[in-house]
Amino acid sequence: MAGKIGVYFDLENIGGGLDVEALAAQTRDKWGDLTPVVRVVPLLAKAVESIAADIESEGLDGVLLCGASPRVDGDLYRFPVQVEHVNLREQCVQAYKNPDNSPVGTEAPELLTIMARDYVNMGVVKLQKSEVPDSAAITSVPRILVIGGGWTGLTAAMEAAATGYEVVLVEKAAQLGGAANNIPVGSPLASPWTDKQPTNVGDKIKAVTADARITVYCNAVMQKLEGQPGEFTAVIAGEGGPVTVQVGAVVLATGWKPLESKYLESMGLGQNPKVVHAAEFGKLLLTGQVTARRIAFVLDTTIAEEAISKAAAEAEATEAADGEAAAPAEGEDKGFVKSDLESIKHLRYSNAVNSVGMLRLANTICEKTNDATQTFILYKDMTVPGILERFYKQMQDRLGLMMTKADVTEIRDAGSHMVVACKNTLLGMDFDLDVDMVVLPTGLVPTTAKEVTVGFDYRQGPDFPDLELFDGFADSNYICFPYETRRTGVYAAGCVRQPQTMDACEEDARGAVLKAVQCIEAAGHGVAVHPRSGDTSYPVFNFVRCTQCKRCTEECPFGALDDDEKGTPKPNPARCRRCGTCFGACPERVISFANYNIDQIGSMIREVQVPKDFKKEGPRILILACENDAYPALDMAGARGKSWSPYCRVIPVRCLGSVNAIWVSDAMSKGFDGVMLLGCKYGDDYQCHFVKGSEICNRRKENIAETLNRLGVQPERVEQMEVAIDEYDKVPDLIDGFVARITAMGPNPFKGM
Ligand code: SF4
Ligand code: SF4
């Protein structure tokens, strides 16, 4: 708890808009001994040494910097005491406008002065209620477990060993290499990216098995993973019985399995021996079983998609008409249902891999037969990632290869050959193509399903959660944090993360290994690995008042909390991502972080001077803004000269999931007229850094609305709005719209009570 705070005002960054000396004077008057040093400095960035000297000479235990947003230059100010920033530039001076939109004069407007004063007072109390977290450092095990010994897993093992860490590699098959064993010659893996390249997977296997730092278990699967990052215990079930190893982090490289052939039945797969999918064709090519001399590679699965949509709609209609009576018996083939439409999405996700793969396969067979084989790639979308475009261009000159965009409308067996009907082609005509063989794309389905389990010994169960939300892929945030999964310390790489080409899988393996290394180091230093990298705080529980309601354990998005048989939470600090969702959930408010807690934010809310006269002095609106998207969007809006109502006060929160209903009650009883919860988008293409905090907040808001209703306060006074980080041009209008609605509603009935 900071008891001697130095407050510094950055004249260059906030002067001109504000009477900074007057603000400093009011701070001295209000806070007295708590703020023994209050100084206005010409430029904060040049005052670092003098602030350090004040800390020393005055015995300060907290520093409050009033100037630019902490997102701008926060890293400049590293002192041996707690540091807080008051954002008086982007979200105060720059965002200010008069309520009636009249031009702002040269004198600091009264409302701006009031706003700045509120923010400074909130900053002081925030520091006053903040403590330095105790260390959560553990003795971290410098060993990485790699699950999956295919192309990605082998690369990960080699890269991890190259960093000096020990590696344990678990492979379920009898030999290493996985699907890469069927691809001796791949698409380009390196410069000049124009020609085929030997994959040399055998060399990778040799390097891995010869490396003394890597222990390989083949014919082995994971039985159990318990503990937390830095100190996991892995139990591996292998031929010689279970083996237990200590590891610091895990790379998940279990790869993919092909989409079931039933989904491409309407295109002949599994029905006609002349129709195969690309991965099968690769194996046939490898074993010299391809005798066809005219081959169509079809990169358009519209026929299958339409057939499944139709069958699913028919099944639904029949079920609706016949009810239970028509429901198939257990084990009976149900045909296609609506969820199959989700499964076939894997074909679209795999389009880039299939585009490159078909170029590779066509190239290989042409080369083997001196272009005596005629190959045709009929594509709806040719998706060639990045620099592999050069390979595509090279293939355009291949004598035996003809490529065209085409709608493939029918694939039929004409006895001696197959016919592929093509429409809307680049040749400007529709045609029927006679071929000996048809190659369809392979749907790469990630192997995070139940058959490849990591065996988490976690309260939330042995598997990754909610996989259906991510179509089975292992990420926890597609947009900002590749490699992350929803189990801290386990990093996904390769096709278990997303369908990708072999060169991309190698790059992915390196990325995941770096995350694993970072995780082990972070656990050793007792800091968060991501997304709040370097954060030393973690949730602390006051178990005396815990009612074992289990809300925190159930709502933690990352399975960081286990519990005992009674339901008392058992924290695992190294698994924790410091989002605060647990303390947002806790009805007893017994969870807190040393430097982010219920009382602290409640005190900040109470520090705002809410005027009694709504008509004359306007409403007051509290904005709790997620610091990952909403807060930076506000910063960018202010910096770009976009302004919003001066009746608002913004408090950043770690995640909307950390918003405890008591803060809304605090605001209402203080006399605020409205509360806006501003956070990330959620849903299928979610952005929430903590996966579902924003969504959880929305659910809790319904409970808040009920409470407000009971109290006779309009629930419309609390609104949640979604904003992405780049929507800075939209956010001022969102705020002003809310302020207008609240103004029309009139004052909070609790005002002045
Ligand atoms: S802070 Fe977030 S990750 Fe940590 S225990 Fe609480 S809910 Fe889980
Ligand atoms: S939410 Fe609070 S009261 Fe409920 S189990 Fe967790 S710590 Fe205990």
Asked, as a colleague might, if the bond just before 573 is cis with ω within 30 of 0, I would say no
Q: Would you say residue 532 lies in a domain? A: no
CA of 460 to the centre of ligand 2 (A): 16
CA of 592 to the centre of ligand 2 (A): 11
* Residue from 558, 572, 597, 688 whose mutation best tests the ligand 1 pocket (most atoms within 8 A of CB): 558
Task: Tell whether 473 and 550 lie within a shared domain.
Answer: no
Cα–Cα distance, 547 to 728 (Å, whole number) = 42
Residue with CA at minimum distance from ligand 2 atom 8 = 546
The ligand with the least distance to the CA atom of 546 is 2
Q: Is residue 511 part of a domain?
A: yes
Domain count, the chain: 5
Question: Ligand 2: which atom is nearest the Cα of residue 561?
Answer: 6
Amino acid (1-letter code) at residue 169: L
Could you identify the atom of ligand 1 that is nearest to the CA of residue 559? Answer: 8
Instruction: Tell how far the Cα of 127 is from the centroid of ligand 2, in angstroms.
Output: 26
Give domain status of residue 301, yes or no: yes
Rounded to an integer, what distance in angstroms lies between the CA atom of residue 750 and that of residue 711? 10
Q: Where does ligand 1 bind, in terms of residues with CB under 6 Å?
A: 539, 556, 558, 560-561, 576-582
- Which atom of ligand 2 approaches the CA of 585 most closely? 1
Ligand 2 center to 649 CA (angstroms) = 30
Is residue 247 located within the same domain as residue 123?
no
Tell me how far the alpha carbon of residue 565 lies from the centroid of ligand 2, in angstroms: 14
Q: Looking at the structure, do residues 429 and 296 belong to the same domain, yes or no? A: yes
- For residue 336, the model assigns a pLDDT of 83
By residue range, what is the domain housing residue 603?
A: 596-753
Q: Looking at the structure, do residues 611 and 683 belong to the same domain, yes or no?
A: yes
| Domain edge (last residue) among 405, 423, 443 | 443
One domain, residues 453 and 309: no
Q: Are residues 186 and 200 in the same domain?
A: yes
DSSP 324-371: GGGSPPTTS-----HHHHHHTHHHHHTHHHHHHHHHHHHHHHHHHTTT
pLDDT of residue 315: 84
pLDDT of residue 129: 96
Which amino acid belongs to residue 60? L
Phi and psi dihedrals of 152, rounded to 5? -70, -45
Q: Which of 417, 443, 469 is the last residue of a domain?
A: 443
Q: Whose CA is nearest to atom 1 of ligand 2?
A: 586
33 lies in the same domain as 116: yes
**Same domain, residue pair 302 and 370:** yes
CA 5 to chain centre: 37
**Residue 47 sits in the same domain as residue 111:** yes
The number of the ligand 2 atom at minimal distance from the alpha carbon of 582 is 1
- The best mutation among 542, 545, 564, 591 to test binding of ligand 2, ranked by most ligand atoms within 8 Å of the C-beta, falls on 591
Return the structure tokens found at 49. 């040494």
DSSP H or E run through 600: helix 598-607
In this structure, the answer to whether residues 715 and 741 fall within a common structural domain is: yes
Omega cis (within 30) before 192: yes
Domain co-membership, 86 together with 227: no
Same domain, yes or no: 544 and 624: no
CB contact at 8 A, 225 and 135: no
Any idea what the CATH number is for the domain that residue 487 is in? 3.50.50.60
- Ligand 1 atom closest to residue 578's alpha carbon, by position in its atom list: 1
**Could you write out the DSSP letters of every residue in 115-144?**
HHHHHHHHHHHHHHT--PPPP-------EE
Query: Ligand 1 centroid vs 569 CA: distance in angstroms?
Result: 11
Q: What is the CATH number of the domain that holds 97?
A: 3.40.50.2300
Q: Is 606 helix (H, G, I), strand (E, B) or coil?
A: helix
Task: Give the distance (Å) from ligand 2 centre to CA of residue 90.
Answer: 37
- Which residues of the chain fall below pLDDT 50? none
Residue 155 counted as domain residue: yes
Which 3-state string (H, E, C) describes 25-86? HHHHHHHHHHCCEEEEECCHHHCHHHHHHHHHHHCCCEEEEEECCHHHHHHHCCCCCEEEEE
**430 within domain boundaries:** yes
Residues in the chain: 753
Residue 137 lies in a domain: no
Give, for ligand 2, the residue of 543, 544, 550, 551 to mutate: max count of ligand atoms closer than 8 Å to Cβ: 551
pLDDT of amino acid 104: 83
- 149 Cα–ligand 1 center, Å: 32
Given 87, 113, 132, the domain boundary residue is: 132
CATH code of the domain in which 586 resides: 3.30.70.20
Instruction: Give me the pLDDT at residue 105, please.
Output: 78
pTM, 2 dp = 0.91
Question: Has residue 656 been placed in a domain?
Answer: yes
Neighbours of 88 (CB within 10 A): 28
For residue 138, tell me if it sits in a domain.
no
Quote the pLDDT of residue 161. 98
